[in-house]
């Protein structure tokens, strides 16, 4: 292909990458690895994990990847907690059920994630898991600790700032 045609094509693709997200289409955006890896390999992803352990017994695990919050396969979500009318993410949860991302668990007490799913925010993920509006930055905690997602983000930002100052 001639160099001029290649340059025109690259400019066109660059424009598409800008315009498509504005109209709500993420066609050219790469999917996070955790959301696209086969189910057997998801556990091999070497990243910090977060969890929700609710008093109802529901347990969910997730991780941050490429600006999205991925809830991993096998995580649970509350079923019919009674907040559907006030849950901003109720429609999203119904879509996930229709798509087969969320299915009934063995005991039919919770929904179970059949595959990893990338949410646009930790709050959207927490709202689907807890079946109510939720602040994901406070609900998700580093696995095995009481450190919230928010505290982890603050530490990460502070470490990056310190590294930038010392460089």
Q: Please check the confidence at residue 160 and state whether its pLDDT lies above 90.
A: no
The Cα 80–Cα 122 span in angstroms is: 20
Q: Are residues 19 and 51 in the same domain?
A: no
Higher-pLDDT residue of 128, 31: 128
Return the HEC string of the chain. Answer: CCHHHHHHHHHHHHHHHHHHHHCCCCCCCCCCHHHHCCHHHHHHCCCCCEEEECCCCCEEEEEEECCEEEECCCCEEECCCCCCCCCCCHHHHHHHHHHCCEEECCCCCEEEECCCEEECCHHHHHHHHHCCCCCHHHHCEECCCCCEHHHHHHHHHHHHHHHHHHC
**Mean pLDDT across the chain:** 83
CA distances from 1 to 11, 13, 14, 116, 120 (A): 15, 16, 18, 39, 38
Q: Quick one: CA torsion of 109, 113, 119, 122, rounded to 10 degrees?
A: 50
Number of domains in the chain: 2
How high is the pLDDT of residue 136?
94
Q: Please check the confidence at residue 102 and state whether its pLDDT lies above 60.
A: yes
Q: Are residues 26 and 52 in the same domain?
A: no
Q: Are residues 59 and 4 in the same domain?
A: no
Q: Are residues 25 and 100 in the same domain?
A: no
Least confident of 11-15, 73-77, 129-133: 11-15
Q: Are residues 85 and 117 in the same domain?
A: yes
Q: Are residues 8 and 65 in the same domain?
A: no
Q: Please check the confidence at residue 84 and state whether its pLDDT lies above 60.
A: no
**What does the pLDDT average to over 89-114?**
89
Q: How confident is the model at residue 112 (pLDDT cuts 50, 70, 90)?
A: very high
**What does the pLDDT average to over 147-164?**
88
26-70: pLDDT as tens digits: 666 655 555 555 444 444 445 789 999 989 889 999 998 888 899
- Entry pTM: 0.71
**What does the pLDDT average to over 101-119?**
90
- Domain extent at residue 131: 33-166
Name 59's bridge partners.
53
- CA 54 from centre of chain: 18
Q: How confident is the model at residue 121 (pLDDT cuts 50, 70, 90)?
A: very high
């Amino acid at each position: 292909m001639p160099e001029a045609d290649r340059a025109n094509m690259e400019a066109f693709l660059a424009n598409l990458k800008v315009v498509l997200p504005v109209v709500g289409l993420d066609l050219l955006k790469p999917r996070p690895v955790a959301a696209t890896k086969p189910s057997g390999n998801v556990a091999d992803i070497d990243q910090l994990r977060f969890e929700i352990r609710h008093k109802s017994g529901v347990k969910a695990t997730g991780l941050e990847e490429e600006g999205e919050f991925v809830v991993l396969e096998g995580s649970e979500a509350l079923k019919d907690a009674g907040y559907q009318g006030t849950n901003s993410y109720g429609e999203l949860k119904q879509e996930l059920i229709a798509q087969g991302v969320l299915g009934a668990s063995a005991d039919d007490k919770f929904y179970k994630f059949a595959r990893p799913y990338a949410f646009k925010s930790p709050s959207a993920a927490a709202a689907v898991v807890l079946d109510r509006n939720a602040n994901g930055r406070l609900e998700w905690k580093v696995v095995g600790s009481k450190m919230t997602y928010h505290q982890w983000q603050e530490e990460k930002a502070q470490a990056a700032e310190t590294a930038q100052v010392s460089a």
